[in-house]
Amino acid sequence: MVQRQLPNPAELLELMKFKKPEFDGKKRRLDSALTIDDLRTIAKRRTPKAAFDYTDGAAEGELSLTRARQAFQDVEFHPGILRPAPSVDTSVDILGGPSALPFGIAPTGFTRLMQTEGEVAGAGAAAAAGIPFTLSTLGTTSIEGVKAANPHGRNWFQLYVMRDREISYELTRRAAAAGFDTLQFTVDTPVAGARLRDKRNGFSIPPQLTLGTIINAIPRPWWWYDFLTTPKLEFASLSTTGGTVGELLDAAMDPTISYDDLAVIRDIWPGKIVIKGVQNVEDSVRLRDAGVDGIVLSNHGGRQLDRAPIPFHLLPEVRKAVGDEFTVMIDTGIMNGADIVAAVALGADFTLIGRAYLYGLMAGGRSGVDRTIDILRTEIERTMRLLGVASLAELEPAHVTQLTRLVPVTRSASDAVVR
């Protein structure tokens, strides 16, 4: 029989120690976020629908984004055992400079519409973490404003080639003068993708008040207070706004962009140049041979061509084709530090996060971006320890299997379908 006794008051007191309450509401909600998806949930609760959907959504049926995220979930890791990794080195040299982590912040447009601190929060958090920050041509803080927010860290600039080429040339010169060290020349946006959530929400720049937006804003007064009591949006390039995001993109972008434009920008830009939006092996090899410093495998977060190739699936084949010395980066679909580890193992030199950063921004401004980086850092370090690797250099393709759900269909000469 189990021997029973009266509870010992001293032992009860040890069990009844209460957690110290946290009275800072922002800190409390950010501390409760254990994953990027948790930050997304908070962001959705705190941000008007149109602004949240602009961040969260993708083109048409959103298949490209769904497939990209699923590709990372369909990863099988192969850990080594009896390989102690009590501490891990997450640092990497990328494009001629250091990064404390194998990811940087991707370029995002209209960022202050998500949360009023916008790019200043992103650049400040990147500086604190020792990682690069990328400003979009369609960012809502000027080149010089980002430099002021991150005066000693690594700033990168993402360039769209516009119909008025002189705008693009002047932006390139300004970024160089401000000390930005890398240019992301974006090639996957000759026209705007069909972002249906934005059309259904009537999302425009600047936001237009309708009965629907007013009703949606009632439980989110803090967002409107921030938006209406802070300085007017300052775009990195556009001097005039008005209309939907798609209309703005179509007015600014030029479908005639070509290798000739790349040559002109290459002559203007003194730093490293990478091509963002590469989606096949042939273009990867051609760009390497053209002398650029690297590429970003990306389908623009699924926001342009729906059903576009999955960057993570392309990665091993591209790495094999371009060799080990050429810089290959990847974005789209990253929601966990394990996704980043898998990408590095399969040949990525670096990764970029877009939505993950914006979820943190919407959830809590600068503190939310800090929380995003902290979550990803923790997941990267834990995954590396569990794999038995002490540095990123020890990661290799043998650590990862890409499980496939989508199997390409090939056709024989007689057009019979062969699987």
Q: Tell me if residue 78 is catalytic.
A: no
Q: Cα(38)–Cα(50) distance, rounded to whole angstroms?
A: 20
Beta-carbon contacts of residue 91 (< 8 Å; ≥ 6 apart): 98, 99, 100, 101, 392
In the numeric block, which tokens belong to residue 145? 């404003």
User: CA 379, 298, 363, 385: dihedral to nearest 10 degrees?
Assistant: 0
- The active-site residue out of 78, 152, 300, 399 is 300
User: How is residue 159 annotated by DSSP?
Assistant: E
Phi, psi for 43 (deg, rounded to 5) = -60, -40
Query: Is there a contact between 362 and 52 (Cβ–Cβ < 8 Å)?
Result: yes
Question: For residues 138 and 236, is the Cβ–Cβ distance under 8 A?
Answer: yes
CA dist 18 → 9, 14, 67, 195 (Å): 16, 10, 44, 48
CA–CA dist 116, 140 (Å, integer): 10
The residues carrying an active-site annotation are 300
